[in-house]
Amino acid sequence: MKDIEIIFPRNFDLKQFIQMEAEEPFSMNAISFLDALATILRNDLRSIHFPEIYTFAFFCRKANLAMLKRTYYPCDRSRLGRGIAFHITPSNMAMNFAYSLVSGLLSGNLNIVRLPSQKFQQINVICNAIQTLSEKQEFKLFTRRILLVKYPKLNSATSYFSSICDARIIWGGDKAVEEIKRNIIPPKAIDITFADKYSLCVINADVLIKENSPKNIAQLFYNDTFLFDQNACTSPHLVVWVGSEENISSYKKIFWDNLHHLVIEKYVLQPYSTIDKLLTFYNQLIHLNGIIKTTTPDNLIWRVELTELTEDVTKYRCNCGYFVEYTASSITDLLPMISKKYQTIGSYGIAKEEWDQISLQKNLIVSERIKPLGKTSEFSFNWDGHNLINELSVPLQLDN
Protein backbone atom coordinates (compact mmCIF):
# COMPACT_ATOMS: atom_id res chain seq x y z
CA MET A 1 0.00 0.00 0.00
CA LYS A 2 1.46 3.31 -1.12
CA ASP A 3 1.23 6.81 0.32
CA ILE A 4 0.17 5.69 3.80
CA GLU A 5 1.54 7.77 6.65
CA ILE A 6 1.45 5.94 9.98
CA ILE A 7 0.93 8.59 12.65
CA PHE A 8 0.86 6.05 15.49
CA PRO A 9 2.65 3.83 16.44
CA ARG A 10 6.19 4.57 15.37
CA ASN A 11 6.83 0.89 14.73
CA PHE A 12 3.82 -1.06 13.53
CA ASP A 13 3.58 -4.84 13.22
CA LEU A 14 0.51 -5.70 11.14
CA LYS A 15 0.76 -9.43 11.80
CA GLN A 16 0.89 -8.87 15.56
CA PHE A 17 -2.02 -6.40 15.34
CA ILE A 18 -4.30 -8.81 13.48
CA GLN A 19 -3.58 -11.62 15.94
CA MET A 20 -4.60 -9.61 19.01
CA GLU A 21 -7.91 -10.60 20.61
CA ALA A 22 -10.99 -8.53 21.33
CA GLU A 23 -11.79 -7.54 24.91
CA GLU A 24 -14.94 -7.15 26.94
CA PRO A 25 -16.53 -3.68 26.67
CA PHE A 26 -15.38 -1.18 29.29
CA SER A 27 -12.40 -3.32 30.26
CA MET A 28 -10.16 -2.04 33.05
CA ASN A 29 -7.36 -1.79 30.45
CA ALA A 30 -9.41 0.61 28.33
CA ILE A 31 -10.65 2.67 31.27
CA SER A 32 -7.15 3.01 32.79
CA PHE A 33 -5.67 4.02 29.45
CA LEU A 34 -8.32 6.65 28.72
CA ASP A 35 -8.14 8.07 32.24
CA ALA A 36 -4.36 8.43 31.86
CA LEU A 37 -4.90 10.03 28.45
CA ALA A 38 -7.28 12.54 30.04
CA THR A 39 -4.65 13.49 32.62
CA ILE A 40 -1.98 14.12 29.99
CA LEU A 41 -4.33 16.22 27.87
CA ARG A 42 -5.42 18.36 30.82
CA ASN A 43 -1.78 19.03 31.69
CA ASP A 44 -0.66 19.81 28.13
CA LEU A 45 -0.19 23.58 27.84
CA ARG A 46 -1.26 23.47 24.19
CA SER A 47 -4.73 22.39 25.30
CA ILE A 48 -5.31 25.91 26.66
CA HIS A 49 -5.98 27.03 23.09
CA PHE A 50 -8.44 24.21 22.38
CA PRO A 51 -11.42 23.97 24.74
CA GLU A 52 -12.63 20.95 22.74
CA ILE A 53 -9.58 19.01 23.98
CA TYR A 54 -10.53 19.78 27.58
CA THR A 55 -14.06 18.60 26.80
CA PHE A 56 -12.67 15.36 25.36
CA ALA A 57 -10.40 14.88 28.39
CA PHE A 58 -13.38 15.40 30.70
CA PHE A 59 -15.27 12.71 28.76
CA CYS A 60 -12.36 10.26 29.21
CA ARG A 61 -12.13 10.66 32.98
CA LYS A 62 -12.44 7.44 34.97
CA ALA A 63 -15.47 8.75 36.89
CA ASN A 64 -17.33 9.57 33.66
CA LEU A 65 -16.42 6.22 32.08
CA ALA A 66 -17.71 4.40 35.18
CA MET A 67 -21.03 6.21 34.79
CA LEU A 68 -21.15 5.34 31.08
CA LYS A 69 -20.40 1.71 31.87
CA ARG A 70 -23.41 1.55 34.18
CA THR A 71 -25.55 2.96 31.38
CA TYR A 72 -24.25 1.02 28.38
CA TYR A 73 -22.84 -2.16 29.87
CA PRO A 74 -24.73 -3.37 32.96
CA CYS A 75 -23.01 -6.11 34.96
CA ASP A 76 -25.48 -8.79 33.88
CA ARG A 77 -24.27 -8.70 30.28
CA SER A 78 -21.44 -10.66 28.65
CA ARG A 79 -20.09 -9.32 25.37
CA LEU A 80 -16.85 -9.04 23.39
CA GLY A 81 -15.67 -6.51 20.85
CA ARG A 82 -16.18 -7.60 17.25
CA GLY A 83 -12.46 -7.57 16.50
CA ILE A 84 -10.99 -4.91 14.19
CA ALA A 85 -12.92 -1.65 13.89
CA PHE A 86 -11.97 0.50 10.90
CA HIS A 87 -12.89 4.16 11.43
CA ILE A 88 -13.04 6.59 8.49
CA THR A 89 -13.41 10.09 9.89
CA PRO A 90 -14.40 13.35 8.15
CA SER A 91 -11.64 15.55 6.75
CA ASN A 92 -13.04 18.80 8.16
CA MET A 93 -13.52 17.85 11.82
CA ALA A 94 -10.63 17.90 14.28
CA MET A 95 -12.07 15.87 17.17
CA ASN A 96 -14.34 13.33 15.53
CA PHE A 97 -11.56 10.75 15.23
CA ALA A 98 -10.92 10.86 18.98
CA TYR A 99 -14.51 10.07 19.98
CA SER A 100 -14.78 7.38 17.32
CA LEU A 101 -11.58 5.79 18.63
CA VAL A 102 -12.90 5.87 22.20
CA SER A 103 -16.07 4.13 21.03
CA GLY A 104 -13.98 1.39 19.48
CA LEU A 105 -11.72 0.97 22.51
CA LEU A 106 -14.55 0.92 25.05
CA SER A 107 -16.52 -1.61 23.00
CA GLY A 108 -13.49 -3.92 23.16
CA ASN A 109 -12.02 -3.62 19.66
CA LEU A 110 -8.70 -3.19 17.92
CA ASN A 111 -8.86 0.09 16.01
CA ILE A 112 -7.63 1.38 12.68
CA VAL A 113 -8.43 5.08 12.33
CA ARG A 114 -8.02 7.11 9.18
CA LEU A 115 -7.34 10.63 10.45
CA PRO A 116 -8.64 13.81 8.77
CA SER A 117 -6.71 15.00 5.74
CA GLN A 118 -6.69 18.56 7.02
CA LYS A 119 -3.95 19.53 9.46
CA PHE A 120 -5.38 20.17 12.90
CA GLN A 121 -3.20 20.99 15.91
CA GLN A 122 -5.73 19.20 18.14
CA ILE A 123 -4.90 15.92 16.40
CA ASN A 124 -1.19 16.42 17.07
CA VAL A 125 -1.86 17.05 20.76
CA ILE A 126 -3.91 13.87 21.17
CA CYS A 127 -1.61 11.69 19.08
CA ASN A 128 1.41 12.90 21.05
CA ALA A 129 -0.38 12.01 24.28
CA ILE A 130 -1.10 8.50 22.99
CA GLN A 131 2.55 8.14 22.00
CA THR A 132 3.64 9.20 25.48
CA LEU A 133 1.40 6.57 27.09
CA SER A 134 2.65 3.89 24.71
CA GLU A 135 6.14 4.35 26.17
CA LYS A 136 4.93 3.54 29.67
CA GLN A 137 5.24 -0.10 30.63
CA GLU A 138 1.66 -0.35 31.91
CA PHE A 139 0.19 0.76 28.56
CA LYS A 140 2.61 -0.75 26.04
CA LEU A 141 0.42 -3.75 25.29
CA PHE A 142 -2.88 -1.91 25.23
CA THR A 143 -1.70 0.83 22.84
CA ARG A 144 -0.85 -1.88 20.30
CA ARG A 145 -4.61 -2.01 19.77
CA ILE A 146 -4.43 1.38 18.00
CA LEU A 147 -3.32 2.23 14.46
CA LEU A 148 -3.67 5.87 13.35
CA VAL A 149 -3.04 6.56 9.67
CA LYS A 150 -3.32 9.24 7.01
CA TYR A 151 -3.60 8.64 3.28
CA PRO A 152 -5.12 10.32 0.21
CA LYS A 153 -8.80 9.89 -0.55
CA LEU A 154 -8.30 7.63 -3.56
CA ASN A 155 -6.04 4.98 -2.10
CA SER A 156 -6.02 1.17 -1.98
CA ALA A 157 -5.65 1.37 1.81
CA THR A 158 -9.41 1.82 2.24
CA SER A 159 -10.00 -1.38 0.29
CA TYR A 160 -7.40 -3.31 2.28
CA PHE A 161 -8.47 -2.12 5.73
CA SER A 162 -12.09 -2.79 4.76
CA SER A 163 -11.17 -6.36 3.79
CA ILE A 164 -9.73 -7.19 7.22
CA CYS A 165 -12.18 -5.35 9.47
CA ASP A 166 -15.06 -6.72 11.54
CA ALA A 167 -16.80 -3.35 11.73
CA ARG A 168 -16.45 -0.24 9.58
CA ILE A 169 -17.51 3.13 10.95
CA ILE A 170 -17.95 5.77 8.25
CA TRP A 171 -18.35 9.45 9.10
CA GLY A 172 -19.01 11.80 6.21
CA GLY A 173 -21.41 13.10 3.61
CA ASP A 174 -23.79 10.92 1.62
CA LYS A 175 -21.45 10.79 -1.40
CA ALA A 176 -18.44 9.87 0.74
CA VAL A 177 -20.36 7.07 2.44
CA GLU A 178 -21.55 5.72 -0.91
CA GLU A 179 -18.03 5.80 -2.33
CA ILE A 180 -16.43 4.08 0.67
CA LYS A 181 -19.08 1.36 0.75
CA ARG A 182 -17.96 0.25 -2.71
CA ASN A 183 -15.02 -1.33 -0.86
CA ILE A 184 -16.16 -4.78 0.20
CA ILE A 185 -16.07 -5.88 3.83
CA PRO A 186 -16.09 -9.53 5.03
CA PRO A 187 -19.52 -11.24 5.08
CA LYS A 188 -19.80 -11.13 8.87
CA ALA A 189 -18.56 -7.56 9.20
CA ILE A 190 -20.95 -4.62 9.70
CA ASP A 191 -21.12 -1.04 8.48
CA ILE A 192 -22.13 1.81 10.78
CA THR A 193 -22.62 4.96 8.73
CA PHE A 194 -23.13 8.58 9.71
CA ALA A 195 -24.07 10.55 6.62
CA ASP A 196 -25.37 14.07 5.92
CA LYS A 197 -27.44 15.58 8.71
CA TYR A 198 -28.90 18.97 9.49
CA SER A 199 -29.21 20.73 12.85
CA LEU A 200 -31.07 23.75 14.15
CA CYS A 201 -31.70 25.61 17.36
CA VAL A 202 -34.84 27.07 18.89
CA ILE A 203 -34.63 30.11 21.16
CA ASN A 204 -37.47 31.38 23.32
CA ALA A 205 -37.07 35.17 23.43
CA ASP A 206 -39.53 35.50 26.31
CA VAL A 207 -37.23 33.45 28.54
CA LEU A 208 -34.10 35.25 27.35
CA ILE A 209 -35.51 38.66 28.13
CA LYS A 210 -36.21 37.59 31.72
CA GLU A 211 -32.75 36.10 32.26
CA ASN A 212 -30.93 39.11 30.81
CA SER A 213 -27.67 37.30 29.99
CA PRO A 214 -27.01 38.11 26.32
CA LYS A 215 -23.23 37.61 26.50
CA ASN A 216 -23.60 34.15 28.02
CA ILE A 217 -26.20 33.09 25.44
CA ALA A 218 -24.01 34.36 22.60
CA GLN A 219 -21.06 32.38 24.00
CA LEU A 220 -23.13 29.19 24.15
CA PHE A 221 -24.22 29.65 20.56
CA TYR A 222 -20.63 30.42 19.51
CA ASN A 223 -19.50 27.14 21.09
CA ASP A 224 -22.07 25.22 19.06
CA THR A 225 -21.21 26.85 15.76
CA PHE A 226 -17.98 28.79 15.27
CA LEU A 227 -15.80 26.38 17.25
CA PHE A 228 -16.45 23.88 14.45
CA ASP A 229 -16.92 26.32 11.56
CA GLN A 230 -20.43 24.83 11.46
CA ASN A 231 -18.87 21.68 9.97
CA ALA A 232 -20.14 19.44 12.76
CA CYS A 233 -23.40 17.65 11.98
CA THR A 234 -24.60 19.00 15.34
CA SER A 235 -23.92 22.67 14.49
CA PRO A 236 -27.11 24.71 14.00
CA HIS A 237 -27.67 26.26 10.57
CA LEU A 238 -31.25 27.32 11.22
CA VAL A 239 -32.23 29.59 14.13
CA VAL A 240 -35.91 29.48 15.03
CA TRP A 241 -37.28 32.20 17.32
CA VAL A 242 -40.40 31.78 19.44
CA GLY A 243 -42.05 34.12 21.92
CA SER A 244 -43.86 37.43 21.74
CA GLU A 245 -43.27 39.57 18.67
CA GLU A 246 -41.95 42.43 20.81
CA ASN A 247 -39.42 40.30 22.69
CA ILE A 248 -38.20 38.55 19.54
CA SER A 249 -37.73 41.86 17.75
CA SER A 250 -35.74 43.44 20.58
CA TYR A 251 -33.69 40.40 21.53
CA LYS A 252 -32.62 39.45 18.01
CA LYS A 253 -30.46 42.55 17.72
CA ILE A 254 -28.98 42.06 21.20
CA PHE A 255 -28.20 38.41 20.48
CA TRP A 256 -26.54 38.94 17.10
CA ASP A 257 -24.60 42.01 18.27
CA ASN A 258 -23.13 40.06 21.17
CA LEU A 259 -22.29 37.14 18.91
CA HIS A 260 -20.63 39.50 16.43
CA HIS A 261 -18.38 40.91 19.17
CA LEU A 262 -17.33 37.37 20.09
CA VAL A 263 -16.61 36.44 16.47
CA ILE A 264 -14.47 39.54 15.96
CA GLU A 265 -12.50 38.65 19.08
CA LYS A 266 -12.03 34.89 18.53
CA TYR A 267 -12.69 33.84 14.96
CA VAL A 268 -10.62 34.04 11.78
CA LEU A 269 -12.66 34.07 8.57
CA GLN A 270 -11.00 32.44 5.58
CA PRO A 271 -11.31 34.41 2.30
CA TYR A 272 -12.97 31.54 0.41
CA SER A 273 -15.76 31.45 3.01
CA THR A 274 -17.10 34.83 1.86
CA ILE A 275 -17.45 33.52 -1.68
CA ASP A 276 -19.20 30.37 -0.38
CA LYS A 277 -21.65 32.52 1.54
CA LEU A 278 -22.48 34.60 -1.53
CA LEU A 279 -23.00 31.50 -3.69
CA THR A 280 -25.19 29.90 -1.03
CA PHE A 281 -27.37 32.99 -0.85
CA TYR A 282 -27.84 33.05 -4.63
CA ASN A 283 -28.75 29.36 -4.49
CA GLN A 284 -31.33 30.04 -1.80
CA LEU A 285 -32.76 32.93 -3.82
CA ILE A 286 -33.38 30.53 -6.69
CA HIS A 287 -34.85 27.65 -4.70
CA LEU A 288 -36.46 29.08 -1.55
CA ASN A 289 -39.47 31.40 -1.54
CA GLY A 290 -39.36 34.89 -0.10
CA ILE A 291 -35.97 35.01 1.63
CA ILE A 292 -34.48 38.28 2.85
CA LYS A 293 -30.83 38.92 3.69
CA THR A 294 -30.44 40.87 6.92
CA THR A 295 -27.90 43.70 6.70
CA THR A 296 -24.79 42.93 8.75
CA PRO A 297 -21.65 45.05 9.34
CA ASP A 298 -19.26 42.64 7.60
CA ASN A 299 -18.93 39.12 6.21
CA LEU A 300 -18.29 37.40 9.53
CA ILE A 301 -21.98 36.61 10.04
CA TRP A 302 -24.60 36.23 7.31
CA ARG A 303 -28.27 36.12 8.31
CA VAL A 304 -31.05 35.16 5.93
CA GLU A 305 -34.68 35.48 7.04
CA LEU A 306 -37.16 32.80 5.91
CA THR A 307 -40.82 33.59 5.34
CA GLU A 308 -41.78 29.91 5.46
CA LEU A 309 -40.32 26.65 6.72
CA THR A 310 -39.95 23.82 4.24
CA GLU A 311 -37.91 20.64 4.04
CA ASP A 312 -35.87 22.23 1.23
CA VAL A 313 -34.07 24.48 3.68
CA THR A 314 -31.71 21.58 4.52
CA LYS A 315 -30.44 21.42 0.93
CA TYR A 316 -28.98 24.91 0.80
CA ARG A 317 -26.61 25.69 3.63
CA CYS A 318 -23.18 27.10 4.25
CA ASN A 319 -20.72 27.10 7.14
CA CYS A 320 -18.35 29.64 8.70
CA GLY A 321 -21.13 31.84 10.11
CA TYR A 322 -24.07 31.51 7.70
CA PHE A 323 -27.48 31.28 9.37
CA VAL A 324 -31.08 31.19 8.24
CA GLU A 325 -33.71 32.49 10.67
CA TYR A 326 -37.40 31.94 11.10
CA THR A 327 -39.91 33.44 13.53
CA ALA A 328 -42.41 30.78 14.62
CA SER A 329 -45.68 31.04 16.49
CA SER A 330 -44.67 27.91 18.44
CA ILE A 331 -42.40 24.90 18.02
CA THR A 332 -45.28 23.05 16.36
CA ASP A 333 -44.38 25.07 13.24
CA LEU A 334 -41.43 22.69 12.94
CA LEU A 335 -43.66 19.66 12.45
CA PRO A 336 -43.82 19.77 8.61
CA MET A 337 -40.05 19.82 8.24
CA ILE A 338 -38.58 17.65 11.01
CA SER A 339 -37.48 14.27 9.68
CA LYS A 340 -34.75 11.67 10.10
CA LYS A 341 -32.52 14.11 8.23
CA TYR A 342 -32.19 16.13 11.44
CA GLN A 343 -29.34 15.39 13.82
CA THR A 344 -29.62 17.80 16.76
CA ILE A 345 -31.93 20.52 17.99
CA GLY A 346 -30.35 23.07 20.29
CA SER A 347 -32.94 24.35 22.74
CA TYR A 348 -33.14 27.40 24.97
CA GLY A 349 -36.21 28.18 27.02
CA ILE A 350 -38.36 25.31 25.67
CA ALA A 351 -39.79 22.82 28.17
CA LYS A 352 -39.07 19.11 27.72
CA GLU A 353 -42.80 18.38 27.64
CA GLU A 354 -43.17 20.50 24.51
CA TRP A 355 -40.47 18.51 22.72
CA ASP A 356 -42.05 15.25 23.83
CA GLN A 357 -45.26 16.31 22.13
CA ILE A 358 -43.37 16.95 18.90
CA SER A 359 -41.85 13.46 19.14
CA LEU A 360 -45.28 11.87 19.54
CA GLN A 361 -46.79 13.75 16.62
CA LYS A 362 -43.90 12.97 14.26
CA ASN A 363 -43.41 9.40 15.48
CA LEU A 364 -39.69 10.20 15.76
CA ILE A 365 -37.45 9.99 18.79
CA VAL A 366 -36.76 13.72 18.52
CA SER A 367 -36.08 14.13 22.24
CA GLU A 368 -32.93 11.94 22.07
CA ARG A 369 -31.04 14.76 20.37
CA ILE A 370 -32.57 17.79 22.04
CA LYS A 371 -29.62 19.49 23.68
CA PRO A 372 -29.30 22.70 25.68
CA LEU A 373 -27.77 25.57 23.75
CA GLY A 374 -23.98 25.32 24.07
CA LYS A 375 -24.02 21.52 24.38
CA THR A 376 -25.21 20.37 20.98
CA SER A 377 -21.85 18.77 20.20
CA GLU A 378 -21.68 16.69 23.39
CA PHE A 379 -20.80 13.16 22.35
CA SER A 380 -22.93 10.18 23.29
CA PHE A 381 -22.64 6.46 22.52
CA ASN A 382 -26.23 6.75 21.30
CA TRP A 383 -25.59 8.64 18.08
CA ASP A 384 -27.93 8.98 15.12
CA GLY A 385 -29.92 5.95 16.21
CA HIS A 386 -26.87 3.75 16.75
CA ASN A 387 -25.88 2.33 20.13
CA LEU A 388 -22.16 2.18 19.43
CA ILE A 389 -21.24 -0.04 22.36
CA ASN A 390 -23.82 -2.67 21.40
CA GLU A 391 -23.22 -2.53 17.68
CA LEU A 392 -19.43 -2.71 18.00
CA SER A 393 -19.62 -5.76 20.27
CA VAL A 394 -21.32 -9.16 20.18
CA PRO A 395 -22.83 -11.42 22.86
CA LEU A 396 -20.27 -13.76 24.37
CA GLN A 397 -21.12 -17.38 23.62
CA LEU A 398 -20.63 -19.41 26.79
CA ASP A 399 -20.44 -23.21 26.79
CA ASN A 400 -23.03 -24.91 29.01
What are the tens digits of pLDDT across the range 28-72? 999 999 999 999 999 998 888 898 999 999 999 999 999 999 999
What is residue 391's three-state secondary structure? Answer: helix
CA dihedral of residues 147, 150, 151, 156 (deg, nearest 10): 10
Would you state the pLDDT for residue 147?
Answer: 98
DSSP string, 6-67: EEE-SS--HHHHHHPPP--TT-HHHHHHHHHHHHHHHH-GGGGG-HHHHHHHHHTSHHHHHH
CB-facing half-sphere around the CA of 59: CA atoms within 13 A: 19
Residue 88 CB-density burial (10 A; 0-12 exposed, 13-18 middle, 19+ buried): buried
303 vs 214, residue with greater confidence:
303
Does position 363 have pLDDT exceeding 70, yes or no?
A: no
DSSP code of residue 295 = P
- Percent of the chain past pLDDT 70, that is, above it, reads 96
Would you state the pLDDT for residue 400?
Answer: 46
Could you give the CA distance from residue 132 to residue 158 in angstroms, rounded to a whole number?
28
In the chain the first and final C-alpha atoms are separated, in Å, by 45
Does position 206 have pLDDT exceeding 70, yes or no?
A: yes
Domains assigned to the chain:
5-196+384-395 (3.40.605.10), 198-372 (3.40.309.10)
What is residue 384's three-state secondary structure? Answer: coil
* Confidence tier at 1 by pLDDT (50, 70, 90): low
Angle of the 121-134 helix axis to the 51-59 helix axis, nearest 10: 40
CB 170 within 8 A of CB 176: yes
With residues binned 3-state (H G I as helix, E B as strand, rest as coil), the percentages for the chain, rounded to 5, are 45, 20, 35
What are the tens digits of pLDDT across the range 164-200? 999 999 998 888 899 999 999 999 999 999 988 889 9
Does position 238 have pLDDT exceeding 50, yes or no?
A: yes
Number of continuous H segments (helices) and E segments (strands) in the chain = 14, 17
Q: How far is CA 202 from the centre of its chain?
A: 19
Does position 321 have pLDDT exceeding 70, yes or no?
A: yes
Highest mean pLDDT among 25-34, 196-205, 247-256, 357-366: 25-34
What are the tens digits of pLDDT across the range 333-342? 888 887 778 8
* Confidence tier at 358 by pLDDT (50, 70, 90): confident
Q: Of 143, 166, 207, 204, whose CA–CA distance to 81 is shortest? A: 166
Mean pLDDT on 241-255:
93
What are the tens digits of pLDDT across the range 226-236? 988 998 889 99
Would you state the pLDDT for residue 394?
Answer: 95
What are the tens digits of pLDDT across the range 122-147? 999 999 999 999 999 999 999 999 99
What are the tens digits of pLDDT across the range 152-165? 887 899 999 999 99
Could you give the CA distance from residue 100 to residue 55 in angstroms, rounded to a whole number?
15
Would you state the pLDDT for residue 51?
Answer: 87
